[in-house]
Amino acid sequence: KIRLRAHRGRRKTLEKIGVLENTYPSIFVVRIDEPNYNQRLSFSYADVLTETVELALLKDGSAKLMPVAK
């Protein structure tokens, strides 16, 4: 499980917890696991490099966060 923080512009930030579902050569897909928000979101690796998207690995499924990329 990972914690995802995506900056959507104009002070809009999306923070969700999900599962890294698929990886492709230029994008990755995260499945969001929340009761009323079952959705898949895709992001490019460039989004991570430009810090538009921040990822953190949930250690052992607990609430403790271990930073993955910064």
- Tens of pLDDT along the chain (70 residues) come to 899 999 988 888 999 999 999 999 999 999 998 888 789 999 999 999 999 999 999 877 655 545 555 4
Q: Which phi and psi (to 5°) does residue 49 adopt?
A: -65, -35
Which residues 6+ apart lie within 8 Å of 20 measured at CB? Answer: 2, 28, 29, 30
Q: Is 60 helix (H, G, I), strand (E, B) or coil?
A: helix
Does the pTM surpass 0.95? The reply is no
Q: For the chain, which residues make up each domain, given as ranges? A: 2-58
Q: Which two tokens stand for residue 45?
A: 């690796």
